[in-house]
């Protein structure tokens, strides 16, 4: 493939004289949960998003175009339209001006303003279409051209309107899932079984269960889990005791997102996602959820693809671009984990006269999962440079320069915009559109391969001016240059977890109903991360108060005291239950330990507020079969947590995720995390200062020092010195120095060994 040797507008791309920086894009970096993004950001916010590439001054050939001048241009062109059409257009024009007078920039319009613009240009499109069909031949071509312009403008404002609706959904979903974002979890289960046997004595129940869950890791990575399981349970019941045993197979899918905002951006339009959370929140957002966002993806794609061609046609009509809103692909999970679990369970329960109930459960399971990351050649090079070298298409030209590549990308983006837009305007059939899209994607793939070839051959230095310019092009035009169809490389890694879990329960129902349980789980984990592999011991202490059962007992006793006997209080309780969100409320404490050197070491302890629903019903049928239905849900809110101070195995995977690419936003997150858990980090540093050679944490640091290349090993020695200085003089200055020294150790370990060791466990298919 031969690239054009002429660099178009080279002075604009790389001007010799420095130009005043200009804003190319704006994205708020704070959380939707903390504050809604402003459509009119402050100058302080804007300065954080200025591009480093020098830009040529904006052209002064034409006056700036506002929404008002843009709409007035087409109103004048419609002077010859029928009176009824002209009156309607003038009415819409006045409405548009009244709503957009304070926001001349299309990118700053609100939903109502964007809707007014959409309606105006939709009506104008229809008027020009009527003139093109009924008018004289000399003006027909001009009317058709104006019709197409109005249609493309309609796409822009429709996309802006839909984006405003989606932003509302993004904010609402992030707020609705705030408990999860702050360290909690939620989940729902639906069970269905068919019993065969003698009811109340012995039966065999094959069944299925659908489960969904949302949880977060220590690094605040969001795990969105969906699983389906099928199994068989054998039940044996007597008057005061019961037992059951079962086997099941479960298929699960876990989608991982970098934070709650990425999750909200990806899932806010999903009705299934809203259904699995608060039903009240779903009803509140139902208008946005069921409205135009149903066509959001198509509308955004049309607006993004046509934008450059529209701006070109506006210039041909003597109009400058008013600055349309830039559209990007919605967030995607950065990793998808698929797994299969096989489990054996057994349980027994003893009922002590309806007052005390004792129960015990044993479960053994094995879980095999495969982590998947789909990438294009650019993503593959960013994560696995050596593998990218072997997967690079041999379509590059050795004499292609960086500036020629920039010119070729500009040309491809402009041509693709015109071709794809013209295909829609001319109503090409679906087969021809598909062929055109495939050709555009193929060219985008070639350009991406050229870019990576220049990177590998060192013709484009990392973070150089040319590198930043090309990256900016791929970012601004991601829908054209990096579509999902180019993610043909999949990195995979396998994990295995073997677990044995025991749980003992005690339930007391004397007036009020309460339950306590102790759960102990022993797990052996094989992971791509060596610091996540090993043997774990998890202990959970749980105490719950059964709100609805206690309410039913209290109603029954109250009616008895009033002399009302034999009355079923269930309907009263069901009526009151509509105001109670969960059946059970309680507190649980979890302790996660890891077996190190034959001894358990505490990694993390958490205290959670728990709210649980669990309803099981058996429905008799005219046949010997019974139908068993179960519904359940839970919401766990993190109250407090404490990090362990004897090992680095909890912190190292977290450091890899947040400090591995040295992005400033991630470094700031790490510093905030350290500040939040300052006491735990200071105790860890104190153990480093006081530890002897046989102390676990000192042995871990010695192993880390051995893995770091010789020129960088001094960072471990500096950590010991800083930790001892902080111990001797525990003021904020010395403590902060010790925390920074620990961060430098993590940087060196990640760069010299840790990152490469984790990646070596991955394969690319």
Q: Does residue 602 share a domain with residue 502?
A: yes
Whole-number pLDDT of residue 558: 56
pTM score, whole prediction: 0.83
Q: How far, in Å, CA of 514 to CA of 610, rounded?
A: 13
Tell me, what's the pLDDT at 397? 57
Provide the pLDDT confidence category of residue 337 given band limits of 50, 70 and 90: very high
Query: Please, which residues have CB within 8 angstroms of residue 335's CB and are 6 or more apart in sequence?
Result: 255, 256, 371, 372, 373
Average pLDDT, the chain: 84
What pLDDT score was predicted for residue 13?
34
Torsion on CA atoms 318, 19, 324, 49, rounded to nearest 10: 180
d(CA 274, CA 227): 17
Whether residues 570 and 441 share a domain: the answer is no
Q: Alpha helix (H) ranges present in 177-285?
A: 178-181, 260-267, 271-275, 279-284
Same domain, 605 and 457: no
User: Are residues 369 and 278 part of one domain?
Assistant: yes
Q: What does the alpha-carbon distance between residue 494 and residue 474 come to, in Å, rounded to a whole number?
A: 32
Angstrom distance (rounded) from CA 328 to CA 325: 10
Three-class SS state of 662: coil
Cα dihedral value 86, 87, 88, 90, nearest 10:
80
Share above pLDDT 90 across residues of the chain, in percent, rounded to a whole number:
57
Element (H, E) at 362: strand 356-375
Same-domain check for residues 397 and 447: yes
- Tell me: do 448 and 405 sit in the same domain: yes
CA dihedral 217, 221, 224, 227 (to 10 degrees): -50
pLDDT digit string, tens, across residues 212-252: 999 999 888 999 999 999 999 998 888 788 899 999 999 99
Q: Are residues 462 and 512 in the same domain?
A: no
Look up residue 294 and give its DSSP letter.
Answer: G
Question: What was the pLDDT predicted at 361?
Answer: 95
Alpha helices in 39-103 (DSSP H): 43-46, 67-77, 83-100
Mean pLDDT across 42-49: 35
Q: What's the pLDDT band for 733 if we cut at 50, 70, 90? A: very high
pLDDT at 3 over 50: no
Q: CA 37 to CA 705: how far, in whole Å?
A: 44
Taking the C-alpha atoms of residue 122 and residue 714, their distance in angstroms, rounded to an integer, is: 68
458 and 594 in a common domain: no
Answer for the pair 194, 628: CB distance below 8 angstroms, yes or no.
Answer: yes
In order of 212, 454, 506, 593, 608, the CA distances from 540 in angstroms are 21, 54, 14, 11, 11
- Is 135 within a domain? no
Return d(Cα 183, Cα 181) in angstroms, integer.
Answer: 6
Question: Can you tell me whether residue 513 is helix, strand or coil?
Answer: strand
Q: How far, in Å, CA of 299 to CA of 479, rounded?
A: 12
Same domain (yes/no): 587, 665? no
Range(s) of the domain holding residue 446: 377-486
pLDDT in tens, 549-572: 555 555 555 555 555 565 555 555
Q: What pLDDT is stored for residue 643 in this prediction?
A: 95
C-alpha span between 103 and 223 (Å, rounded)? 39
| Radius of gyration for the chain, computed over Cα atoms and rounded to the nearest angstrom | 32
Asked whether 337 and 253 are in contact (CB, 8 A), the reply is yes
Same domain, 183 and 284: yes
| Residues in the chain, total | 765
Q: What is the pLDDT of residue 389?
A: 86
Q: Which residue has the higher pLDDT, 188 or 52?
A: 188
Where is the domain boundary, 643, 666, 684? Answer: 643
- Does the pLDDT value for residue 2 go beyond 90? no
Share of the chain above pLDDT 70, in %: 84
Residue where a domain stops, chosen among 433, 468, 486: 486
* pLDDT tens sequence across 496-511: 999 999 999 888 876 6
In terms of C-beta distances under 8 Å and separation of at least 24 residues, what long-range contacts does 10-16 make, across chains too? 10/403, 10/407, 11/56, 12/55, 12/56, 13/403, 13/406, 13/469, 14/54, 14/403, 14/465, 14/469, 15/54, 15/55, 15/56
Q: How many domains does the chain have?
A: 3
d(CA 559, CA 260): 48
Residue 490 contacts residue 479 (beta carbons within 8 Å): no
Of 398-407, 415-424, 533-542, where does mean pLDDT reach its minimum? 398-407
- What beta strand segments (E) does 530-648 contain? 534-546, 584-596, 599-620, 625-643
Could you tell me whether strands 222-237 and 763-764 are parallel, antiparallel, or unpaired per DSSP bridges? Answer: unpaired
Mean pLDDT for 453-463 is 90
Residue 528 lies in a domain: yes
Flag whether 14 is in a domain. no
| C-alpha–C-alpha distance, residues 264 and 531, integer Å | 30
**Bridge pairing between strands 222-237 and 356-375:** unpaired
What is the per-residue pLDDT across 319-330, written as a single tens digit (0 to 9) for each? 888 889 988 888
276-319 pLDDT, tens digit each:
888 888 888 888 888 756 788 999 999 999 999 999 999 999 88
Dist. CA 130–CA 82, nearest whole Å: 9
Pairwise CA distance, residues 445 & 313, whole Å: 27
Is the residue at 531 inside a domain?
A: yes
Domain finish residue from 610, 643, 676: 643
* 525 or 575: which leads in pLDDT: 525
Note the pLDDT of residue 56. 38
Show Cβ contacts of residue 92 under 8 Å, excluding neighbours closer than 6 positions: 116, 119, 120, 123
Residue 525 lies in a domain: yes
Residue 31 placed within a domain: no
- In this structure, are 516 and 664 located in the same domain? no
Confidence of residue 7 (pLDDT cuts 50, 70, 90): very low
State the pLDDT confidence band at 38, using cuts at 50, 70 and 90.
very low
Look at residue 738 and tell me if it is in a domain: yes
- pLDDT score for 583: 67
Q: How many whole angstroms separate alpha carbon 49 and alpha carbon 674?
A: 26
Dist. CA 369–CA 497, nearest whole Å: 9
Query: Does any domain span residue 152?
Result: no
Confidence category of residue 132, pLDDT binned at 50, 70, 90: confident
Estimate to the nearest angstrom the gap between the alpha carbon of 392 and the chain centroid. 29
Which secondary-structure segment (H or E) carries 235? Answer: strand 222-237
Are 287 and 369 within one domain? Answer: yes
Query: Which is more confident, 141 or 81?
Result: 141
């Amino acid at each position: 493939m031969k690239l054009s040797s002429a660099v178009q507008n080279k002075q604009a791309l790389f001007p010799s004289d420095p130009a005043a920086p200009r804003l190319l894009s704006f994205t708020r970096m704070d959380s939707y949960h903390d504050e809604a993004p402003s459509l009119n950001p402050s100058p302080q916010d804007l300065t954080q998003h200025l591009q480093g590439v020098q830009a040529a001054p904006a052209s002064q050939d034409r006056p700036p175009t506002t929404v008002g001048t843009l709409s007035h241009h087409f109103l004048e062109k419609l002077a010859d339209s029928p009176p009824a059409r002209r009156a309607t257009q003038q009415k819409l024009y006045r409405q548009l001006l009244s709503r957009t007078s304070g926001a001349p920039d299309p990118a700053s319009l609100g939903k109502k303003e964007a809707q007014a613009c959409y309606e105006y240009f939709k009506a104008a499109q229809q008027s020009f279409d009527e003139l093109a069909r009924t008018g004289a031949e000399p003006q027909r071509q001009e009317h058709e051209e104006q019709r197409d312009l109005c249609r493309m403008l309609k796409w822009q404002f429709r996309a802006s309107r839909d984006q405003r609706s989606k932003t509302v959904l993004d904010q609402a979903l992030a707020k609705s899932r705030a408990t999860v974002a702050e360290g909690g979890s939620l989940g729902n289960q639906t069970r269905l079984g068919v019993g065969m046997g003698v009811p109340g004595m012995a039966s065999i129940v094959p069944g299925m269960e659908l489960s969904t869950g949302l949880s977060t890791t220590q690094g605040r990575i969001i795990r969105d889990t969906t699983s389906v399981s099928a199994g068989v349970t054998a039940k044996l019941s007597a008057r005061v005791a019961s037992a059951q045993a079962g086997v099941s197979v479960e298929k699960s899918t876990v989608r991982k997102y970098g934070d709650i905002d990425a999750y909200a951006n990806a899932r806010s339009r999903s009705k299934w996602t809203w259904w699995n959370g608060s039903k009240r929140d779903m009803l509140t957002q139902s208008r946005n959820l069921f409205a135009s966002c149903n066509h959001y993806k198509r509308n955004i794609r049309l607006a993004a693809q046509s934008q450059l061609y529209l701006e070109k046609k506006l210039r041909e009509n003597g109009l400058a671009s008013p600055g349309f809103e830039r559209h990007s692909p919605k967030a995607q999970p950065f990793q998808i984990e698929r797994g299969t679990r096989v489990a054996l369970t057994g349980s027994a329960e003893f009922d002590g006269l309806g007052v005390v109930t004792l129960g015990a459960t044993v479960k053994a399971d094995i879980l095999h999962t495969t982590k998947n990351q789909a990438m294009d050649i650019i993503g593959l090079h960013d994560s696995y440079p050596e593998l990218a070298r072997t997967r690079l298409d041999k379509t590059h030209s050795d004499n292609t320069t960086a500036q020629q590549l920039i010119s070729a990308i500009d040309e491809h983006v402009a041509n693709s915009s015109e071709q794809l837009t013209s295909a829609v305007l001319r109503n090409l059939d679906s087969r021809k559109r598909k062929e055109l899209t495939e050709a555009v994607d193929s060219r985008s793939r070639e350009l991406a391969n050229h870019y990576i070839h220049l990177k590998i051959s060192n013709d484009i230095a990392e973070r150089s001016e040319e590198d930043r310019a090309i990256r900016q092009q791929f970012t601004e035009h991601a829908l054209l240059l990096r579509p999902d169809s180019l993610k043909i490389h999949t990195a995979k890694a396998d994990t295995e977890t073997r677990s044995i879990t025991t749980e003992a329960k005690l339930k007391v129902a004397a007036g009020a109903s309460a339950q306590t349980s102790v759960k102990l789980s022993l797990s052996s984990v094989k992971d791509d991360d060596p610091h996540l592999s090993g043997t774990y011991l998890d202990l959970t202490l749980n105490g719950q108060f059964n709100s609805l059962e206690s309410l039913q007992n209290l109603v029954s006793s109250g009616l008895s005291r009033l002399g009302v006997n034999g009355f079923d209080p269930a309907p009263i309780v069901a009526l009151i239950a509509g105001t109670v969100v969960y059946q059970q409320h309680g507190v649980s404490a979890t302790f996660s330990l890891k077996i190190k050197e034959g001894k358990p070491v505490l990694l993390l302890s958490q205290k959670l507020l728990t709210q649980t629903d669990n309803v099981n019903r058996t429905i008799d049928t005219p046949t010997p079969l019974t139908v068993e239905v179960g519904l359940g849900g839970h919401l766990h809110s993190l109250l407090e947590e404490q990090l362990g101070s004897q090992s680095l195995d909890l912190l190292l995977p977290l450091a890899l995720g947040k400090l591995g690419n040295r992005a400033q936003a991630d470094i700031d997150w790490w510093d905030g995390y350290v500040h939040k858990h300052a006491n735990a980090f200071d105790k860890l540093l104190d153990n480093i200062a006081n530890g002897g050679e046989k102390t676990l944490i000192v042995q871990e640091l010695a192993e880390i020092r051995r893995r770091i290349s010789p020129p960088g090993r001094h960072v471990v020695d500096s950590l010991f010195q800083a930790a001892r200085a902080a111990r001797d003089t525990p003021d904020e200055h010395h403590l902060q120095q010790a925390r920074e020294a620990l961060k430098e150790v993590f940087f060196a370990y990640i760069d010299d060994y840790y990152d490469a060791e984790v990646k070596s466990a991955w394969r690319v298919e």
